[in-house]
């Protein structure tokens, strides 16, 4: 049965800065540019904004500082959440709850990072992350996301017979999608030979298995459907939002690291919307690495456990397949905005604005955060076209 939130919140505007390797500006500037672009997309006066929210890991500008810079003198709602990509969709879900409850009228959610030119994930020269297990890992040089995910990927690949053909199929299809996306950082087609020739980063991950390090800002405007219908663009309805987890899967004793926290959360997410995986027209899976796409195909119920390899080799994840995955190219080819660009792309797909990468007759889209590794939390949204 659908939840009380279903149909009571909407996304009414999306805004981007350029996806680049060197923005040349501060994260405050990126945030403000993305927010103003989202407000312009919606046709909303900035003075109407009364809520602001972000997630970050010590790499961006706090939400209260952005509120001041926007001239908000009495914000009714703000969230400054310390957390990575697993928190991204929960941030928007919480904003949806706020507008549905009448706490705020118009909430802007943003992510702004100089993740290539300034604060590189897993880079040196900064304090270690504050997980308990870090003290046992850092001494062995086990500190960067590709290393963390490589361990999980190898366990998964050994369990289910997945190999470089399956990982490569994800990278190749998403690059093909990005060719139709004018925002994408990487648009040139790649072959399997190109994939295999890319250098090894952390076995089994090659360079083309890894998301892009990106300087970018992305913002979304969350409001009620009634208010959204008075704005410039068609409303995209929040059908369900869910988040979960609570421990990391690196060393917290998870019984099966070939299954992510998303598998526990997915039934709850679909139950809140009153639909199932078969009703979804496209999926924007959190693709920090190619492996995470395979795992989420299974854990969100689009195929059985151990069947994702065959799913992608058969091309069922391509634009002409059963479930188009990451039509914008995802983090692997568009750029890495730590989750927010997946939601923004879902909105554009459901508004029919995606041009050459448009999914035909898209009515319901799934967008996901990181599946629970490293940070230990995950989140996702089910969105649908209004009307």
Q: How far apart are CA 181 and CA 256, in angstroms?
A: 37
In 3-state terms, what secondary structure has residue 172? helix
Q: How far apart are CA 71 and CA 81, in angstroms?
A: 21
The tokens of 375 are what? 């940070």
Q: How far apart are CA 365 and CA 130, in angstroms?
A: 34
What residues are annotated to the active site? 286, 336
Check if the beta carbon of residue 330 is closer than 8 Å to that of residue 342. Answer: yes
Q: At what angle do helices 262-273 and 290-299 cross, to 10 degrees?
A: 50
Pairing of strands 51-56, 77-82: parallel
Check if the beta carbon of residue 357 is closer than 8 Å to that of residue 275. Answer: no
Angle at 184 between CA 83 and CA 156, to 5 degrees: 55
The tokens of 101 are what? 């409850």
């Amino acid at each position: 049965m659908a939840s009380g939130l279903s149909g009571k919140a909407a996304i009414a505007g999306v805004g981007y800065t350029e996806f680049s390797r060197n923005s040349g500006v501060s994260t405050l500037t990126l945030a403000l540019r993305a927010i103003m672009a989202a407000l312009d997309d919606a046709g909303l006066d900035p003075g109407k904004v009364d809520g602001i929210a972000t997630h970050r890991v010590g790499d961006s500008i706090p939400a209260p500082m952005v509120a001041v810079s926007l001239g908000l003198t009495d914000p009714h709602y703000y969230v400054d959440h310390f957390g990575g990509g697993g928190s991204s969709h929960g941030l928007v879900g919480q904003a949806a709850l706020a507008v549905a409850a009448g706490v705020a009228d118009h909430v802007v959610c943003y992510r702004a990072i100089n993740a290539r030119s300034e604060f590189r994930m897993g880079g040196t020269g900064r304090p270690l992350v504050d997980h308990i297990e870090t003290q046992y890992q850092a001494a062995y040089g086990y500190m960067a996301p590709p290393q963390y995910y490589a361990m999980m990927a190898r366990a998964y690949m050994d369990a289910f017979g997945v190999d470089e053909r399956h990982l490569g199929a994800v990278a190749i299809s998403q690059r093909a999608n990005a060719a139709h996306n004018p925002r994408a950082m990487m648009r040139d087609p790649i072959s399997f030979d190109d994939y295999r020739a890319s250098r090894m980063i952390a076995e089994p991950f090659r360079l083309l298995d890894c998301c892009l390090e990106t300087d970018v800002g992305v913002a979304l405007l969350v409001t009620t459907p009634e208010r959204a219908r008075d704005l410039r663009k068609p409303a995209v309805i929040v059908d369900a939002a869910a988040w979960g987890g609570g421990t990391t899967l690196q060393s917290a004793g998870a019984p099966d690291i070939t299954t992510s926290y998303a598998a526990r959360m997915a039934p709850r997410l679909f139950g809140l919307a009153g639909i199932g995986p078969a009703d979804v027209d496209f999926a924007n899976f959190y693709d920090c690495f190619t492996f995470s796409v395979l795992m989420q195909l299974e854990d969100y119920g689009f195929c059985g456990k151990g069947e994702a390899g065959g799913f992608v080799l058969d091309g069922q994840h391509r634009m002409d397949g059963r479930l188009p995955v990451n039509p914008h190219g995802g983090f692997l080819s568009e750029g890495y905005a730590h989750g927010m660009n997946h939601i923004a792309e879902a909105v554009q797909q459901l508004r029919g604005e995606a041009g050459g990468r448009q999914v035909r007759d898209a009515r319901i889209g799934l967008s996901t955060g990181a599946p629970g590794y490293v940070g230990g939390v995950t989140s996702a949204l089910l969105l649908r076209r209004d009307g």
